[in-house]
Structure 1
Amino acid sequence: MTKFMHVVRTPFSPAQKPNFRRFSIQKAFSDVYAYKALPPVARSMYCFSYLDLPFEPHIKRLPRLPIYRHDPIIHGFFSCFNHLRVLVIFPAWFGPFPFVITKLFHLRYLQVRYFGNIPESISELQNLQTLIYDCYSSHMALPGKIWTMKNLRYIHLGKASYTPNPRIDNNLVTGMPNLEEFFNICYSSCTNEVFSRIPNLKRLSICASSIVRENILYRLLDMSSLRKLEAFKLYWRYILEKPIKRFVFPTSLRKLILACCSHFIWEEISSTFIMLPNLEELKLKYCRAEDDVWRLTSKDIFKSLKLLLSELNLKHWEASSVNFPCLKRLVLKNCQDLQEIPTDFGEIGTLESIELHDCNTISEESARNIEQEQEEMGNNILKVYIHNNNSKL
């Protein structure tokens, strides 16, 4: 069996010439020659520890500083690995971003933690497909030249990040036509110009953070041009009336997550999301509605296969099997105010499970009653699972 990856825990001697192509560094070494012995043919490098290089007299540098500084030793280290396709550095990166990394032309996958914004020179990585970036500064922004990286497929950002509008340079329209996932884009960056340059996006996460100006929050955000979007998550931290009505969702959506949204009414949930014909999964997390009753009429029909309600102020839920004819899984988490699960849910032929996590005893009892009633009718498919992590021992 071929070994997939070599784990570096002890330094190599200068006489050794390892030729493995994937390796992970688990421990910091003080011998710079140990790193020079690493194979230059390596394709993948995973750093789980600071690469603590020693002081060298001919280089003006403080002793025992981590590798995450912009100096000749760092440049020499990464210059040895011109064939890298994958570079992952888990410890936080101090100091300026090492320019030498942007010279790794063959890089396909880059994951770093850094205390500043990504430099414009990142655009030199024209073969990069995945960019995962955690930022520790209060404000984060992607460089304008990010739009020249046409091979990018996945962008995962650690916090809400501003993305500038794409520009037209020398009559050449920039964009990321291959981008499929954009995680944690700042709400203020969501413009028609941005959406038009990522037409093949499949998964999107938008965060409305404290840096958004108030006038931007009141605008209508039209995402209908994202015709291939399948999964969308909205993290909303502002108190505005009817926040859900400020969005135009694409009909292609299959999964929708709404988190930390307040001052909506439950009728908005019904009237907005039932218009999404392909919706299979709906999650509402940490939301606070203005009312505490979700009343559904016979015309309110959801086709979702999974419904999750987590930490809501919902007290009464008036619904029947007609409203959720294809529901397969119902999950309730920390819904302390909910008095009862609609008893008619047992008649949903597709329903396989009802899960309750840290809910009150009344809703738990209603779930057990539904399960017992179905068992008496010969329906052994429906199962009820109750989890109480906060219960007293």
Structure 2
Amino acid sequence: MAYAAVLSLMETLKQILDADNQHLLDHKRQQFESLLGQACSLQDFLEDSWKTSSEAVESLEHQIREAAYTGDDLIRSHMSNRTEGCLWQVKSMLQNLIFAFWPDQDLEKVIEEIDSIMKEVMKFKNGGGLKDSGPRNSLSAGSSTQVARVAGTTMVGFDDDLIQLKDRLTGQQSKLQIIPIVGMGGIVSQEYCLREILLCLLDCTTKGVTNDMHKESDEELCMRLYKSLKDDNSGSRIMLTTRLSNLAAYVDSCNLRHQMRFLNDDESWKLLQETACSEENYLELERFGKEIAKNCRGLPLTIAVIGGVLSKLDKRQDVWEHIAKNVSSVATSNDEQCLKILYMSYNYLPHHLKPCFLYMGIFPEDYEIRVSKLIKLWVAEGFLKPITYQSLEEVAMKYLQDLIDRNLILIRQLGSNGIIKSCSIHDLLRDLCLREGYKEKFLCLTKVTANTFLNVTNGGRRLIIYENSRNGHDASARLIRANNDTLKSASAVRSFVCIGRFDTKSKLYFGYRLLRVLDVTQIHFYSFPEELLELFNLRYLAYSSNWKLPSSISMLQNLQTLIVHQVIFAFLFKLPPEIWEMPQLRHICFTECALPDLPCGQIGGAASFSQGRLETLSVVRDFMFTKENCRRVENVKKLGIKYDYASARGQWECYSLNNLDQLHKLENLKCLFGGHDYLMFLPSSRKIPRPTLTFPPNLKKLTLSGCLLPWADMTHIGSLPKLEVLKLHRNAFSGKVWEPIEGEFLRLKYLKLHHMDLADWRADETHFPSLQHLILKICSLKEIPSGIGEIPTLELIQLDDCYISTVTSAIHLKEEQESLGNDGLKLCINYSTVTESTKKLIRRA
């Protein structure tokens, strides 16, 4: 990955040059600045070269990748070796000295190599080699084939699509219409010949193709076709199949695109039978056949290829069982055309998206990937090009959306705020990621199974270990042997990701000095791995343990993300004061932890940290929001806090929760109060102590639990101008009646009431004008106000274990809206235990 390698080198050089490096000699500074300038030029070249496909470009990209990796590794190794074993206070001073005595010849070799490459790049540019070659421009992502066709006559699973498209094609509108059909590679194909398509279209729209037309260039044919279709009242229709959702919007923003879906399990099985030989009796093989069809994940291309393979094999259960367990590898290894179709989507990617896409290969098949984690990993890996006035996380979200728009990544789940919460990648595309990632030395995969340790390391920079055995302890033993004995030679490793279930008291080898990412949350450590402190370049650390963090954690000065999963929840993690001395830290994520106060006399340290990049802080126990502490976390965007009634004993003032409104950048707040059993032992005459909360103005998502606030305080929440999501859990508010005020909750889209004793909700469409989703779970509410159905944006009402009267009111509300022509409201009713009469009521809905 040349682009990712250059980005990493540039980041390293900027870190050196931007530091307060008073001891950096002038000629050394000039060397680093020169190298940075060359890297910037190479980056510009790569941002254009993706449009051109040739052996010369591929050769240059390979040279750039190797040179950039060599330079980055050389500099990082030098930094790491010179600071190894030093206290963090001494490290900062040594980093100013390490380059002063660095032998010139080491750096000179890197500069000479990159200079040589730059000369080749300039020759290539001057020779016109970067002219757009045509097939890779954005409009060439269209095609003309539907892979679900069988034997040229049968189409499975797209009957409704065919009817919808026929209606649009034969509609009575007189003006020109473009009908974009969008789908993943393997649903729509990119195989086509531009010239043949142009001539075919001209033959349909003119009096026929003449000899003169055959002599014309593609550009001339395009213009001739354009003129023949220019009459906007001709009633012409153009169908465009593409894998690019944004292209569909570009060619015709007035018409909706037709999104092609994946086949369901029944349709997949039917298509598999058709392709594998329709006259065969599959009764004995049906079990494995349906499993094969399901494992094709609804992609017609995969089903067609696997069906072709099965048609040539013996109709035996063991054969079909083997295919069922290896669908992706069988499909790509048995059909070159299948790989070609998929590789087109990859080859069309700009360079800045390729490493992000290949990175999806580190996750197992059919794995649901949390977007928040994926973005943190991309940031730590250094895949993202900084953009002015945008955080790296915002840049990452743009990259992710681009890959989704290209139908390379699938949305699995949307969050309550409508933002993508989780995603996945089709197994066939994941196999492509592994193949290309292995070839590019981008990643290497190691599998620990029940009987074997499969080592497929290739010198790749990302090492992924999978455990496929049900016996976790045996697998752990094999992991230790594999890691400590086999992988010590993997000096190129920059990321170590372990996926599986391991439980070990033995030490793992973490001697990859230049490691950036260490994700071993599936491994339970019985003590803090002290060797982690030597990983000076570490940016992302995720592991599982109940052992407290040492004060020396601050030695990891480059750490951006710290995630600790607690195995036993009886212990509270108390973070050391040195946590405030980690200036690059962006995300602190614990099951539950306690943050320390800043030691006396270190106000400056607090101020410097508050100007850092901390964006996530969760879940923090009994945090005191003094003005001093608020300054330390003033840049936080996502915050989870927890308090206990028994600990506070009504003395909420010491936590200064009324200062929460000082966190002006906070967008997502989860505030939990526990220990309600304590209230049961209070004398009945004593007033229940309640915290006083204020909320910051830019809050978009708020989750409250156990606050026992009066419903009158809801006006403070309703007046938040940007609030879109409100989740109220057990005892968040106390009281039987909630009467909202008109003019509040203007942007609220999602409202959840869970385990609330609310009985009377006096609301209508004027109180929640933008509401889309209403969720009621184990609520005492007797009925949903009929006015809620008048909300024009309302899409879903979901009831989980609510009163029958609530269900009845929801059904009446839906029926009333349907009688008024509103068919867009969906009603979802779920019960853990129901009577027959309730079942009838639910079926009626």
Structure 2 CA distance for aligned equivalents of residues 92 and 333 of structure 1? 35
Correspondences of 1:243-392 after superposition (within 5 Å): 243=690, 246-262=692-708, 264-269=709-714, 271-287=715-731, 289-298=733-742, 302-335=746-779, 337-391=780-834
Structure 2 CA distance for aligned equivalents of residues 353 and 308 of structure 1? 12
Q: 1:35 aligns with which of 465, 468, 484?
A: 484
Structure 1 CA distance for aligned equivalents of residues 688 and 525 of structure 2? 41
**What TM-score does the superposition give when structure 2 sets the normalisation length?**
0.41
Quickly say closer, same or farther: Cα 1:352–1:29, change in 2 above 3 A.
same
Q: Does 1:157 align with 2:608?
A: no
Quickly say closer, same or farther: Cα 1:193–1:144, change in 2 above 3 A.
same
CA-atom RMSD in angstroms: 2.7
Letter in 1 for 2:486: A
Letter in 2 for 1:155: I
Q: Which has the higher strand share?
A: 1
Deviations, residues 224-246 of structure 1 (Å, cap 9, x unaligned) = 221111010001125584735x1
Structure 2 partner of 1:6:
445
Number of positions where the alignment pairs a residue of Structure 1 with one of Structure 2: 365
Q: Does 1:187 align with 2:631?
A: no
**What TM-score does the superposition give when structure 1 sets the normalisation length?**
0.84
Structure 1 CA distance for aligned equivalents of residues 447 and 533 of structure 2? 24
* 1:188/1:212 contact within 8 Å kept: no
Quickly say closer, same or farther: Cα 1:251–1:241, change in 2 above 3 A.
farther
Q: 2:653 aligns with which of 218, 223, 229?
A: 218
Quickly say closer, same or farther: Cα 1:36–1:198, change in 2 above 3 A.
same
Letter in 2 for 1:231: N
* 2:723/2:745 contact within 8 Å kept: no
Deviations, residues 196-237 of structure 1 (Å, cap 9, x unaligned) = 012221110101137844465234411222111101000112
Once the two structures are TM-superposed, the CA of residue 157 in structure 1 deviates from its matched residue by: 0.7
Structure 2 partner of 1:62:
none
SS of the residue aligned with 1:78? coil
Once the two structures are TM-superposed, the CA of residue 130 in structure 1 deviates from its matched residue by: 0.8
Structure 2: runs of 5+ lacking an equivalent:
1-431, 438-442, 468-474, 680-686, 837-845
Structure 1 partner of 2:169:
none
With 173-182 and 322-331 compared, the bigger mean Cα shift is at: 173-182
Q: Which has the higher helix share?
A: 2
* 1:147/1:174 contact within 8 Å kept: no
Deviations, residues 85-141 of structure 1 (Å, cap 9, x unaligned) = 12122232213x222101111111111222221111111111111111134452321
Deviations, residues 337-361 of structure 1 (Å, cap 9, x unaligned) = 2111010111111111111111111
Structure 2 CA distance for aligned equivalents of residues 182 and 205 of structure 1? 6
Letter in 1 for 2:756: L
Q: Does 1:229 align with 2:666?
A: yes
SS of the residue aligned with 1:248? coil
SS of the residue aligned with 2:662? coil
* 1:144/1:164 contact within 8 Å kept: yes
Structure 2 CA distance for aligned equivalents of residues 83 and 43 of structure 1? 6
Letter in 2 for 1:281: V
Structure 2 partner of 1:133:
564
Letter in 1 for 2:578: K
Structure label with greater radius of gyration:
2
Structure 1 partner of 2:292:
none
* 1:266/1:289 contact within 8 Å kept: yes
Letter in 1 for 2:506: I
With 213-222 and 274-283 compared, the bigger mean Cα shift is at: 213-222
Structure 1 CA distance for aligned equivalents of residues 806 and 642 of structure 2? 32
Q: 1:94 aligns with which of 509, 513, 526?
A: 526
Quickly say closer, same or farther: Cα 1:205–1:249, change in 2 above 3 A.
same
Structure 1: runs of 5+ lacking an equivalent:
53-65, 69-73
Deviations, residues 294-343 of structure 1 (Å, cap 9, x unaligned) = 123446555311111111111111111111111111111111x2111010
Once the two structures are TM-superposed, the CA of residue 51 in structure 1 deviates from its matched residue by: 7.6
SS of the residue aligned with 1:224? helix
Structure 2 CA distance for aligned equivalents of residues 338 and 171 of structure 1? 52
Percent sequence identity over aligned pairs:
30
Quickly say closer, same or farther: Cα 1:84–1:347, change in 2 above 3 A.
same
* 2:673/2:706 contact within 8 Å kept: yes
Structure 1 partner of 2:513:
82
Once the two structures are TM-superposed, the CA of residue 148 in structure 1 deviates from its matched residue by: 1.2
Structure 2 CA distance for aligned equivalents of residues 134 and 193 of structure 1? 29
Quickly say closer, same or farther: Cα 1:278–1:17, change in 2 above 3 A.
closer
Deviations, residues 25-57 of structure 1 (Å, cap 9, x unaligned) = 5222357476332123222223445486xxxxx
Structure 2 CA distance for aligned equivalents of residues 150 and 86 of structure 1? 18
